[in-house]
Chain A
Amino acid sequence: MRPRRSDVAVVVACGLALALCPVAVHAHLIETGLGPVYDGITHFALTPEDLIPALALALLAGLRGKDHARRVIFALPVAWLLGGIAGTLAGGPALAVPAWLPLLALGGLVAADLRLSPAVTTVIAIVLGVFLGYANGTAMAQAGPGLRGVLGIAGTVFVVTTLAAACVAAWQAGWMRIAWRVAGSWIGASGLLLLGWSLR
């Protein structure tokens, strides 16, 4: 299915905003003492700025159905891994995508239950994965775990998004679909508050 022009415009606008907004941050490392792969896994699991956008995308894909979910659970981790590798190789100052942007955009899409084509959902997953992965990669290069840390993160992204998207795709009867949309509205509202927080 070919994406509609308005869909493409939305994705391009999100991508440009993501590209223009990154800021330098001080990389932090969660050290498990179990090696760089586990450091990466723990970093993702304990960093809501990464975890919640991934969950929001899983919500979006699961709500839209199995076709969307199947694409996203592979596109997101692969894009995250490639972005992470690029970030690790590039090194330099650690970059962070403003946390409010994916929360506001993805939470809004989930709450609105917008009908997107599978191609658009896939492109959103790739854009999100590349930017968050690149940010993780630069942080991992600076902090120590490097590529193996990125591998741990990408693996965890796959597990988390697969489980979340599967739950959402399977449980849509009655109130459950409303509950997922409510969860999306909460994520979007948090993103809006966070935007105010960041402009304060």
Chain B
Amino acid sequence: MRLANRCLAAASLAALAPCALAHVQSGRAAGFVTGFLHPVSGLDHVLAMVAVGLWGVQLGMPAIWILPVTFPIVMALGGFLGLLGVPLPGVEIGIAASAILLGAAVMTERRPPLYVAAALVGFFAIFHGHAHGTELPPGESGLLYSLGFVVATGCLHAIGIAIGSVHRWPAGRIALRIAGGGVGLAGLFFLWRAVA
């Protein structure tokens, strides 16, 4: 009966929905989508962000949520510096180093104190943010672009946490360490490409 009432209420609401006419603002959804796609456009960024989630799971509470919160905030700071045109040397090397070190941390299940892990993640987030900040396209909706950008980064961490949930099983732990090794190797490739 309760379900029937809810269905009836939902159907009534759907039937009452007024038509929405076009409005004069434009390009807003495009701004969100562009921002959302930006962090996932480069494999080096994707691997490092997923590795943050994987490492967070290995470290357990509260690192599992502190690391993925630290990264977007500090990355936004890096993006802010990039937008202002503040130079940061060795950005590509820093991004490659982030994949190497985060991959190595996952591979070895390194367990430093929480503040050290957060500082390491935050340090590398500066490079990722700066790279994105200098590449932001003009003419988009700044707010929705920024939101899309940050949400995509958070989603990549969430994917890392979801994958890392296999950590509860012995075979999953081994698989995670192998995945960490893969991220580290990819980081070495990115480093070679950055300095070549």
Q: Which residues of A contact B (CB under 8 A)?
A: 28-34, 38, 42, 46, 48-49, 52, 99, 103, 111, 178, 181-182, 185-186, 188-200
**What residues of A have a CB within 8 angstroms of the CB of B65 in the complex?**
178, 181-182
Q: In chain B between 23 and 53, which residues have their CB closer than 8 angstroms to a CB of chain A?
A: 23-25, 28
**What residues of A have a CB within 8 angstroms of the CB of B145 in the complex?**
197
| Partner-binding segment picked from B4-12, B136-144, B164-172 | B136-144
**What residues of A have a CB within 8 angstroms of the CB of B123 in the complex?**
none
| Number of B interface residues in the complex (CB < 8 A) | 34
CA distance A52 to B147 in the complex (A): 10
Least distance between B39 CB and chain A CB atoms (Å): 12
Is A30 a contact of B23 with CB atoms below 8 Å?
yes
Is B82 a contact of A196 with CB atoms below 8 Å?
yes
A-B contact list, 10 entries, CB within 8 Å:
A28-B25, A29-B23, A30-B24, A31-B23, A42-B23, A52-B147, A111-B69, A181-B69, A182-B69, A194-B143
CA distance A28 to B144 in the complex (A): 17
Is A99 a contact of B23 with CB atoms below 8 Å?
no
Is A197 a contact of B142 with CB atoms below 8 Å?
yes
Is A48 a contact of B147 with CB atoms below 8 Å?
yes
**What residues of B have a CB within 8 angstroms of the CB of A33 in the complex?**
21
**What residues of B have a CB within 8 angstroms of the CB of A188 in the complex?**
73, 76
Say what secondary structure dominates the interface of chain A. helix
Say what secondary structure dominates the interface of chain B. helix
Is B136 a contact of A34 with CB atoms below 8 Å?
no
**What residues of B have a CB within 8 angstroms of the CB of A190 in the complex?**
76, 143, 146-147, 149-150
Known: A31-B23, A48-B144, A111-B73. 4 other contacts (CB 8 A): A30-B24, A32-B21, A34-B18, A48-B28
Is A189 a contact of B75 with CB atoms below 8 Å?
yes
**What residues of B have a CB within 8 angstroms of the CB of A200 in the complex?**
83-85
**What residues of A have a CB within 8 angstroms of the CB of B149 in the complex?**
190, 193
**What residues of A have a CB within 8 angstroms of the CB of B23 in the complex?**
29-31, 42, 46
Is B24 a contact of A28 with CB atoms below 8 Å?
yes
**A192 is contacted by which of B21, B76, B136 (Cβ under 8 Å)?**
B76
Least distance between B83 CB and chain A CB atoms (Å): 3
CA distance A158 to B24 in the complex (A): 25
Is B143 a contact of A48 with CB atoms below 8 Å?
yes
Least distance between B118 CB and chain A CB atoms (Å): 13
Is B77 a contact of A32 with CB atoms below 8 Å?
no
**B21 is contacted by which of A31, A195, A199 (Cβ under 8 Å)?**
A31
Q: Provided the pairs A32-B20, A48-B144 are in contact, do residues A196 and B150 lie with their beta carbons within 8 angstroms?
A: no
Task: Select from chain B the residue with minimum beta-carbon distance to A108.
Answer: B73
Least distance between B81 CB and chain A CB atoms (Å): 7
